[in-house]
């Protein structure tokens, strides 16, 4: 027979003996267990269970967990089995395994531990109330039996509590894992543009703001490219938005393929893209921008059977110490406007002396 819960909680032979010693139970108490069954539980088992369930059904909080007659009948049957084994062979691994399962079951249905403990205290009192008068008159034997009932029920509560807390803790850990997974997913969604799957505008501008705040630490400077597909509106009007959306996704992929690993590509809006180039000189920024331009000039964008000979215009500039995001974007955007005005399919730097 397998004992997964005893294995998990370390209740091998020494582990069980340690717990019993903590509770105050000894091997000699087995005789008290037999007397408890013969003189208290066996003759009164049904009346104890009925009294216990009257108590539960009179309590609004426990009543919430007893929502059908069929469930109550099953629970009464389980309670009968429980009383039948209470304190019997309490040193055995089977006894420990069964009691550990009780806590696991309570955790699974969401029964608060406080309700379980209160209900168990009432069950404990019911058992003692059913001690026959003849046994009560045996003062020493009666006191010994009371101590045994208190200790054996303490053992059962301690074992059920063990698995209850572990199950709830595991549930919390699973919940936290789900929350972290969902948070990571939402974070990715916030960072990415829904259509093109490059960075979203807000995320790019946030990164750009951080880069500008640390500009003094960037020996190679910080450059920015603004890029816009040429004549994209005409293609959209001719072939429709479905083809246009596919073309934007293909355009984003081409831009990503032309930049370096540490560069950040984003969609600025419509058919306009933005590229952040950290630790970059104007000469390198020009080379990256030209590489992007050639990716489009070298062949049409293909969407199914449709071939779109779209080119791209790009403007770039280098950040200046102390300027904000709006100023930097405005200069790169002005360079892009100049590229459009001078015939499209070209790269222009804000500083025309460096541009091409």
* Angstrom distance (rounded) from CA 53 to CA 62: 10
Could you tell me if residue 107 is left (phi over 0), alpha (psi between -120 and 50 degrees) or otherwise beta?
A: alpha
The secondary structure element, H or E, covering residue 7 is: helix 4-9
* Angstrom distance (rounded) from CA 293 to CA 111: 65
Show the beta-strand stretches assigned E in 270-308.
272-278, 301-303, 306-308
* Cβ–Cβ < 8 Å for 344, 325: no
Residues above pLDDT 70, as percent of the chain: 91
pLDDT at 177: 67
CATH topology of domain 4-182: Globin-like (1.10.490)
Domain with CATH 3.30.70.270 in the chain: 201-349
| Residue 240 Cα distances to 4, 178, 246, 248, 307, angstroms | 62, 40, 10, 12, 13
What are the tens digits of pLDDT across the range 213-256? 887 654 558 999 999 999 999 888 888 989 999 999 999 999 99
Find how far residue 168's CA is from the centre of its chain. Answer: 15
Classify 201-349 by CATH class: alpha beta
Buried-exposed string 317-327: b where 16+ CB fall within 10 A, e elsewhere: bbbeeeeebee
Domain with CATH 1.10.490.10 in the chain: 4-182
> What are the catalytic residues?
271
Residue of higher predicted confidence among 300 and 274? 274
What are the tens digits of pLDDT across the range 177-200? 666 766 566 555 568 888 998 999
Using only C-alpha atoms, the chain has a radius of gyration, in whole angstroms, of 38
């Amino acid at each position: 027979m397998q004992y997964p819960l005893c294995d998990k909680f370390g209740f091998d032979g020494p582990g069980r003996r340690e717990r019993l010693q903590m509770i105050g139970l000894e091997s000699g108490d087995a005789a008290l267990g037999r007397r408890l069954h013969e003189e208290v539980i066996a003759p009164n088992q049904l009346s104890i269970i009925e009294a216990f369930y009257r108590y539960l059904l009179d309590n609004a909080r426990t009543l919430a967990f007893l929502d059908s007659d069929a469930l109550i009948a099953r629970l009464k049957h389980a309670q009968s089995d429980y009383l039948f084994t209470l304190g019997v062979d309490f040193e055995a691994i089977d006894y420990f395994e069964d009691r550990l399962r009780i806590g696991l079951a309570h955790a699974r249905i969401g029964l608060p531990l406080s309700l379980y403990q209160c209900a168990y205290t009432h069950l404990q009192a019911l058992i003692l109330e059913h001690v026959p008068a003849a046994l009560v008159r045996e003062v020493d034997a009666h006191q010994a039996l009371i101590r045994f009932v208190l200790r054996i029920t303490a053992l059962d509560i301690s074992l059920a509590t063990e698995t209850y807390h572990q199950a709830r803790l595991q549930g919390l850990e699973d919940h936290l894992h789900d929350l972290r997974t969902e948070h990571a997913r939402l974070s990715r969604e916030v960072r990415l543009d829904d259509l093109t799957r490059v960075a979203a505008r807000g995320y790019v501008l946030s990164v750009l703001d951080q880069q500008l705040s640390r500009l003094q630490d960037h020996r190679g400077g910080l450059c920015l490219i603004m890029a816009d597909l040429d004549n994209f509106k005409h293609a959209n009007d001719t072939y429709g938005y479905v083809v246009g959306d596919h073309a934007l996704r293909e355009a984003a992929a081409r831009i990503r393929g032309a930049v370096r690993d540490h560069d950040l590509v984003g969609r600025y809006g419509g058919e306009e893209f933005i590229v952040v180039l950290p630790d970059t000189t104007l000469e390198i920024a020009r080379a990256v921008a030209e590489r992007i331009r050639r990716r489009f000039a070298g062949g049409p964008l293909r969407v199914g059977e449709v071939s779109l000979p779209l080119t791209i215009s790009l403007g770039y500039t280098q950040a200046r110490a102390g300027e904000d995001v709006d100023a930097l974007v405005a200069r790169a955007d002005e360079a892009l406007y100049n590229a459009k005005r001078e015939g499209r399919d070209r790269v222009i730097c804000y500083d025309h002396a460096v541009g091409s």
